[in-house]
Structure 1
Amino acid sequence: MGFAEEHLIPLVDEGLGNSAYVLDLGDGRALAVNASRDLRALYATAGRRGLTVAFAADTHLHADFLSGAVQLAHDQGATALASAAGRRAFAHTPLADGDEVDLGGLRLQTLATPGHTDEHLAFLLLDGTRALGVFTGGSLIVDSAARTDLLGADRTEELARAQYRSLKRLASLPDETAVWPTHGAGSFCSAPSGAERTTTVGAQRRDNPLLAAPDEDTFVRELLDRLGSYPAYFDRLTERNRRGPAVVTAAPLMTALTVDQVVTLIDGGGYVIDVRPAVDYAAGHIPGAVSIPMRSQFGTWLGWLLPDDAPLVFVSGDDQDVGEIVWQAYKIGYERLAGRLVGGIPAWLAAGRPQRTTAFVTADRAPSGPYLDVRQQTEYRDGRVAGALNVELGQLADVADDVPAGAVVACGHGERAMTAASILERAGHTGLTVLDGGPADFAAAHGAELVQEGNA
């Protein structure tokens, strides 16, 4: 078949900052690239076009989500395509550099592109001898390259040097070749990048600052300087993906729990996660509950802050989609979902159980400090309140005892700050205030200096 742009459908996961792709092969079949275990959007897209997924390709062993390849093989008979070097323990077609897969007119050619991971492959889409585009996964991304520290500090520089060679290889493709990355803006697998999620080889040769590095040493230094922290669950999922995620045979459900059942689970070491908006959590919540408001980033923070081997109880609002909680958890390998408190906080209070409140105020009503900023260091450097203490949310539990009493806890808007306050309260802090707003709001209200990169 001839290829047209409408044959390729990107599926963007805003929470993870990633893109999967569905390629309509023109004969009722489709290729899926880097699909996650949450296949709802993919199945909806395929269903609208009358497609069956015949091939499920993974560019690498993902760290930030469980692959959907095993599920696609089970549900639709898809052939899993992946690197032979990944030693996956489930049925797949093992591929090495230069191998080709016939898609029925179009072809996929594999390009070994180690760096983000050891076994990373890019998939070059060919129509005859013409390169249409390349699925670059976690190698070449828009104006950057994906991180190289996921296999440990002792491998980081070695993999960064491999990433340099991989980017150079990809940059040797024709200018008009489309670049279809998986990682992008918002992904903790990526160094910072812009809003665009696809590009071309020619545009990257022109605009990617890493490709402009004059030599390998400079490239390595610049790439490593961009790396920040990443969620704790990343260290577990690579091996889960190598073994292959368990097949989900029916839509997972959330068990309805009574107050007494919730209390029993808490006493047995379970965690309560309150997914209501920050303002609702502030007005009243179960003591010890962790606030992670339901939004696109919910899965990331669940996997960063909570263990995957303890029962999890959820408190939600009446209008919140319980199915979204389940799939965001399952997508990152969290399956010990004990259930949801039926009736929510009203039921908890009706049973005579105590609740706790947390001050959540706008900048004009907030105390003057001390100011705790829980954003990522890159965000903090780009604009912060003078004299603020910065502890990233992901590291806060480890240093909770060092946080000054009575702190104003802040992020960019308030969601992460409420999560931080809930962690500090679990550690024994009282008298915290969560800022409903960001550093610019606080600085304006309190006459504080707003420090930005370049005037520090």
Structure 2
Amino acid sequence: MLLRYFYDEKLAQASYMVGCQMTGEAIVIDPSRDIEGYLKEAAKEGLHIVATAETHIHADFVSGTREFAERFDTTAYLSDEGDADWKYEFAADIDAKLVTDGNRFKVGNVTFEVMHTPGHTPEHVSFLLYDRDQTVPMGIFTGDFVFVGDIGRPDLLEEAAGIQGTTAVGAKQMFESLKRFKALPDFVQVWPGHGAGSACGKALGAVPTTTVGYEKQTNWALQVEDETAFVKELTTDQPEPPNYFAMMKRVNKKGIVATPTLSKPRVAEATELETLVNTMQVVDTRSGKSFASGHVPGALNIPYNSKFVTWAGWLLDFDHDIAVIAEFRLLEEIQTDLQSIGLDRFVTLVDIADLSPEQLTEQYPDWSAEQAIEAAEAGEVVVLDVRNKTEWDAGHYEQAKRILLGKLSSRYKEIPVDRPIAVHCASGVRSRMAVSVLQSLGMKNVINIDGGYAALQPVLDRQALTEK
């Protein structure tokens, strides 16, 4: 048997390929949309991918299962658990095998057993792996059920998909599912669907794999024996889910077009930028400081780094065309990144090298923490905190108004406009994106607080000591 681990650092998403070297057959568990990596690895190992398996309808990335099925006639093993709202609508269009708790299937000489593990979502299943004729499993693919040091959150259906009243139900289901997990032998390996940085849990570990025994000893969720206490802990302080999660649920339920059918973005002249800003979403991928010193009015600033995909999902509209200002050499990589979360309307690229100073007519200033607090105390500015609730609860400026960066475009009218707006996050990265959002919405008198709350806190502490 062969096991290969694939990890997308930009989405903190793990997927796996299991192959039977005797028969040359392989299966991919929870494939991402870009399937080329699996195909290359299979070819290198002399394997033929004949199947995929999904632990659940994913909310944070586009699944590659439908593309595998349509391009290579693979069989898809899909959960048939959950009610009618949680069935794969595209199953009728491909070679799909609907599975429920206790079902077994084979790929070559490797056997998989389905274990229904609801809690994160109602239809969620895990896959126990048996090699050859083993009577005990060697491992379990847990998807978003059990992670290293954490478990899947139960609130996404309510927070992201808008299905009210599901959080408490999911938490109780998770409590019961974990009883089955704890009953597995300690030596069983655990292969989760996400790592550190994912919004699918509160505090996922950075180690890629673990064991049932280790999680029983160290994972907080497996230590709590009282259901009420467990539900309270699990449903408290979960991070706000990105806006695009709701779209991903719909996309992965219905299926999405294969990537080879999508056109390559057109490369436009920089002289077209004024027209582009008026007709589509324009994303400037330069650093926040470069953007601050001069940018095209109306553009959003989402720096091209490890968080680009997540923030694109937060800030971009799936229903409108997208133009990106970036280095030409990054065109294909950026397209792949955006497609990984279903942002398929990236149609135009403008090369950064073609920008002229005459086009970069809009700027914004940086203020020190001292400047911002002095102006705020004098009533001269509104302080806007764009951090998440957990950060806010850990410490904040009492006069600040908090609106999460990802919610600014829908809540910006709550911000007073009679004074300049001084924006901060934790360190100054998110606040620069927030300034670009506000400017694109027509709020031009905006300031970035350099250094964020890390710079503000010492000033506030000194102020508190002086007042005493």
Same fold, TM-score > 0.5, yes or no: yes
Q: Which residue of 2 aligns with 1:324?
A: 333
For residue 313 of structure 1, what is the amino acid of its counterpart? Answer: A
Indicate yes or no: 2:126 matched with 1:122. Answer: yes
Q: Which residue of 1 aligns with 2:311?
A: 301
CA deviation vs aligned residue, 1:68-122 (integer Å, no higher than 9, x gap): 1112223444321111242332321111111111122221000011111111110
Unaligned runs of 5+ in 1: 2-6, 452-456
Q: Which residue of 1 aligns with 2:179?
A: 168
Indicate yes or no: 2:376 matched with 1:376. Answer: no
For residue 338 of structure 1, what is the amino acid of its counterpart? Answer: V
The alpha carbon displacement at 1:353 in A equals: 4.4
Q: Which residue of 1 aligns with 2:61?
A: 65
CA deviation vs aligned residue, 1:360-386 (integer Å, no higher than 9, x gap): 467688775644332222233345566
SS at match of 1:145: coil
Is this contact kept in 2: 1:36–1:66, CA < 8 A? yes
Indicate yes or no: 2:437 matched with 1:430. Answer: no
CA deviation vs aligned residue, 1:325-369 (integer Å, no higher than 9, x gap): 11121111111122012455625x5xx646211224676887756
Q: Which residue of 2 aligns with 1:143?
A: 149
Is this contact kept in 2: 1:255–1:338, CA < 8 A? yes
Q: Which residue of 2 aligns with 1:53?
A: 49
Distance in 2, matches of 1:398 and 1:448, equals 33
SS at match of 2:156: coil
1:338/1:173 CA distance change after superposition, 3 Å: same
TM-score, length basis structure 1? 0.88
Q: Which residue of 2 aligns with 1:212?
A: 223
Is this contact kept in 1: 2:25–2:108, CA < 8 A? no
The structure with the largest helix share of the pair is 2
Aligned positions of 1:183-262 closer than 5 A: 183-249=194-260, 252-259=263-270, 261-262=272-273
Aligned length: 440
Q: Which residue of 2 aligns with 1:280?
A: 290
Q: Which residue of 1 aligns with 2:90?
A: 89
Is this contact kept in 2: 1:385–1:450, CA < 8 A? no
Q: Which residue of 2 aligns with 1:100?
A: 104
1:387/1:365 CA distance change after superposition, 3 Å: closer
Distance in 2, matches of 1:277 and 1:254, equals 22
TM-score, length basis structure 2? 0.85
Unaligned runs of 5+ in 2: 82-86, 158-162, 377-382
Distance in 1, matches of 2:114 and 2:346, equals 39
1:13 to 4, 8, 22: 8
CA deviation vs aligned residue, 1:261-313 (integer Å, no higher than 9, x gap): 44334333x11111112122112111011111112221221122221111111
Distance in 1, matches of 2:400 and 2:74, equals 52
Distance in 1, matches of 2:298 and 2:349, equals 16
Is this contact kept in 1: 2:78–2:88, CA < 8 A? no
Q: Which residue of 2 aligns with 1:440?
A: 454
1:231/1:449 CA distance change after superposition, 3 Å: farther
Q: Which residue of 1 aligns with 2:19?
A: 24
For residue 286 of structure 1, what is the amino acid of its counterpart? Answer: V
Q: Percent identity at matched positions? A: 32
Over aligned residue pairs, what C-alpha RMSD do you find?
A: 2.7
1:369/1:394 CA distance change after superposition, 3 Å: farther
Bigger mean CA deviation after superposition, 421-430 or 308-317: 421-430
